[in-house]
């Protein structure tokens, strides 16, 4: 807890920065020094959260019928403001997360964030993603429309790109026409505060109502459950731990409120025998780089490697172990990340895993653990699949060595849902038969299937699926990355049956509001007006 005598940062409620009603506080910690940072932040009580809900509800009623142009203008102004304040944002995020300034924060994540906002703006302006559908003979029409206020819970590992006040869920919810209540993450509240400051200024500049963007930093667990299940909330987006997310989902499900989760994923990599023979050293280098990048703190970090027993496999494991041992140990995001990583080591070892290298805390600066590689047999994995799929969120991975092709498939059947699954195969076709056995099973376990590449990069393009079966996410039909698909999470399908022309949304009128809007009219996807019949 922070010192209550210190100045406490304000919350953003109903269009104004105001002193919190909360009496409990917290401080972020610099992961490299393990020292608290100077700013103190409030834990919002339920009365304050309720004020935010009521304000968001009023804002939702005001903007419900606004055109996509209005939301696009806000997103573009916000993106410009983020770029203009880049230096301060990067410095704050570096202090709060220990993520490197370059290339991570300055060259990759911050540009991605403003680019996401601009992509969302383009989708909002175009409007085709709302899927306007018209059956002219019975005069029945439908389209996706805003669901209402959206709560966004940001994670610890992406202070910009997944931030609750600027990241992908935020951009998608706004582009879909909804106000956002941002619930900051305790690891980087200062970064979130700066982003919310710029969001509010952009909202003022573009004529958004009070309560269109709001920020609270932290709640207790019970109030978080009340928040996602409140009648006035349309939907929630959550990225974080499996345990906390599951509790929020249970509360939201109880009252039928949509909540889109990103929770836990170990992202299996299959390296088939021909690929090991053909280019094992190159794959070892790719894997070590991917697993240790960002100290392994990516949701797509390769946490499970499946190989077939043999001399070449043993040589490959030795090479990877040497790379892990020689690589510098990075700083983790905070004390909870270190403790959970250490707990993961203990769980795997207690269920039969043996260490190849690492396995202890320390080795670097601040909160850290040694670069760690463990191994089990295929039969051990199949016998204890739940425990041996414990996510080690950090610079660690588990190797599963199978004895046969059928065991490859057996391990795949035992997998939980994941964001990604990758297969490396020989270029000469010698692995194709085994690939054909594994892939039909793996394809149903992962949101994104990759060939001959590591999964850590997530391109922000329309076809991207950053989702997958539980526990990777709460629903396999939706993605958190990829516009316009990500916008659809924060909408409801609204149908108009026999509604008079002057009462229809403009996108469902006989005359199209723009020449670029794609609509499904009498079974044909066209641009333009509803054809007249003679």
Q: How many CB atoms within 10 Å of residue 1?
A: 9
Dihedral pair phi/psi, residue 446, rounded to 5°: -135, 150
Q: What is the pTM of this model?
A: 0.95
The CATH-assigned architecture of domain 51-262 is 3-Layer(aba) Sandwich (3.40)
Coil, helix or strand for 483? Answer: coil
Half-sphere exposure of 69 (CA within 13 A, CB side): 4
Rounded to a whole number of angstroms, the CA Rg of the chain reads 24
Environment class of residue 255 by beta-carbon count within 10 Å: exposed (0-12), middle (13-18) or buried (19+)?
exposed
Residue among 417, 377, 71, 30 at smallest CA distance from 213: 71
- What are the structure tokens assigned to 501, written together? 């022309």
Dihedral pair phi/psi, residue 25, rounded to 5°: -135, 170
pLDDT at 534: 53
Domain ranges of the chain: 51-262, 268-451
Residue among 178, 252, 163, 118 at smallest CA distance from 489: 178
Query: Is 299 in the active site?
Result: yes
- What are the structure tokens assigned to 204, written together? 């003022």
pLDDT at 532: 86
Q: What is the pLDDT along the chain (534 residues), one digit of tens a residue?
A: 444 457 999 999 999 999 999 999 999 999 999 999 999 999 999 999 999 999 999 999 999 999 999 999 999 999 999 999 999 999 999 999 999 999 999 999 999 999 999 999 999 999 999 999 999 999 999 999 999 999 999 999 999 999 999 999 999 999 999 999 999 999 999 999 999 999 999 999 999 999 999 999 999 999 999 999 999 999 999 999 999 999 999 999 999 999 999 999 999 999 999 999 999 999 999 999 999 999 999 999 999 999 999 999 999 999 999 999 999 999 999 999 999 999 999 999 999 999 999 999 999 999 999 999 999 999 999 999 999 999 999 999 999 999 999 999 999 999 999 999 999 999 999 999 999 999 999 999 999 999 999 999 899 999 999 999 999 999 999 999 999 999 999 999 999 999 999 999 999 999 999 999 999 999 999 999 999 875
- What are the structure tokens assigned to 197, written together? 């400051």
Dihedral pair phi/psi, residue 376, rounded to 5°: -140, 165
Q: Which of 262, 291, 368, 407 is catalytic?
A: 262
Residue among 182, 247, 399, 216 at smallest CA distance from 308: 399
Q: Which of 48, 96, 109, 299 is catalytic?
A: 299
Structure-token match 């302006």, residue found: 125
Residue 42 forms beta bridges with which residues? 25
The three-state DSSP-derived secondary structure of 229-261 is CCCCCCEEEEECCHHHHHHHHHHHHHCCCCEEE
Q: Can you list the pairs that 281-285 forms with residues at least 24 positions away whose Cβ atoms lie under 8 Å? A: 281/319, 283/316, 283/424, 284/316, 284/319, 284/320, 284/323, 285/323
**CA 414, CA 123: separation in Å to the nearest integer?**
39
Residue 279 · residue 371 · CB < 8 Å: no
pLDDT at 6: 73
Measured in residues, the chain has a length of 534
Residue 59 · residue 86 · CB < 8 Å: no
Give the DSSP per-residue string, 490-519. Answer: GEEEEEEES--GGGS-GGGSSS-SSSS-EE
Coil, helix or strand for 267? Answer: coil
CATH 3.40.630.30 for the 268-451 domain, yes or no: no
- What are the structure tokens assigned to 487, written together? 């916008």
**CA 40, CA 235: separation in Å to the nearest integer?**
29
Structure-token match 């950053």, residue found: 466
**CA 400, CA 388: separation in Å to the nearest integer?**
10
Kindly give, in sequence order, each residue whose CB lies less than 8 Å from that of residue 256, ignoring residues fewer than 6 positions away.
none
Query: Is 416 in the active site?
Result: no
């Amino acid at each position: 807890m922070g010192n209550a005598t210190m100045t406490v940062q304000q919350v953003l409620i109903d269009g104004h920065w105001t002193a919190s009603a909360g009496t409990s506080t917290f401080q972020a910690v610099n992961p490299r020094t393990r020292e608290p940072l100077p700013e103190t932040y409030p834990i919002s009580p339920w009365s304050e959260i309720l004020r935010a809900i009521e304000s968001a509800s009023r804002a939702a009623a005001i903007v419900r019928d606004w055109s996509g142009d209005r939301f696009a203008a806000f997103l573009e102004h916000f993106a410009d403001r983020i770029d203009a304040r880049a230096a301060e944002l990067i410095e704050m995020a570096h202090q709060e997360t220990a993520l490197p300034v370059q290339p991570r924060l300055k060259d990759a994540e911050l540009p991605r964030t403003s680019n996401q906002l601009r992509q969302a703006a383009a989708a909002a302006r175009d409007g085709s993603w709302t899927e306007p559908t018209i059956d002219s003979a019975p005069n029945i029409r439908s389209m996706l429309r805003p669901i209402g206020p959206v709560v966004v819970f940001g994670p610890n590992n992406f202070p910009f790109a997944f931030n609750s006040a600027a990241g992908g869920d935020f951009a998608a919810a706004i582009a879909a026409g909804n106000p956002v209540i941002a619930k900051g993450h305790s690891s980087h509240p200062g970064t979130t505060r700066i982003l919310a400051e710029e969001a509010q200024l952009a909202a003022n500049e573009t004529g958004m109502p009070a309560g269109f963007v709001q920020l609270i930093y932290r709640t207790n667990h019970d109030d978080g459950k009340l928040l996602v299940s409140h009648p006035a909330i349309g939907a929630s987006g959550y990225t974080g731990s499996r345990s906390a997310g599951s509790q929020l989902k249970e509360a939201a499900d109880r009252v039928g409120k949509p909540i889109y989760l990103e929770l836990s994923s170990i992202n299996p990599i299959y390296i088939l025998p021909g690929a090991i023979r053909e280019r094992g050293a190159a794959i070892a280098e790719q894997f070590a780089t991917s697993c240790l990048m960002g100290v392994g703190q990516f949701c797509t970090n390769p946490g499970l490697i499946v190989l077939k027993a043999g001399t070449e496999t043993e040589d490959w494991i030795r090479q990877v172990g040497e790379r892990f041992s020689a690589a510098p140990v990075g700083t983790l995001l905070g004390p909870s990340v270190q403790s959970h990583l250490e707990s993961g080591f203990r769980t795997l070892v207690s269920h039969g895993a043996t260490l190849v290298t690492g396995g202890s805390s320390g080795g670097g600066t601040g909160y850290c653990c040694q670069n760690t590689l463990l191994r089990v047999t295929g039969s051990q994995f199949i016998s204890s699949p739940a425990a041996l799929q414990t996510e080690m969120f950090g610079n660690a991975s588990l190797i599963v060595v199978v004895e046969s092709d059928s065991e490859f498939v057996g391990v795949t059947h035992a997998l939980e849902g994941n964001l990604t699954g990758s297969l490396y195969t020989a270029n000469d076709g010698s692995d194709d038969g085994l690939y054909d056995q594994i892939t039909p099973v793996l394809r149903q376990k992962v949101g994104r299937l990759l060939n001959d590449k590591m999964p850590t990069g997530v391109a922000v393009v329309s076809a991207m699926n950053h989702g997958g079966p539980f526990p990777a996410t709460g629903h396999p039909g939706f993605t958190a990355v990829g516009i316009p698909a990500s916008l659809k999470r924060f909408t409801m399908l609204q149908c108009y049956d026999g509604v008079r022309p002057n009462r229809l949304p403009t996108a469902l009128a006989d005359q199209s509001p723009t020449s670029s809007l794609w609509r499904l009219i009498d079974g044909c996807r066209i641009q333009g007006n509803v054809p007249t019949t003679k």
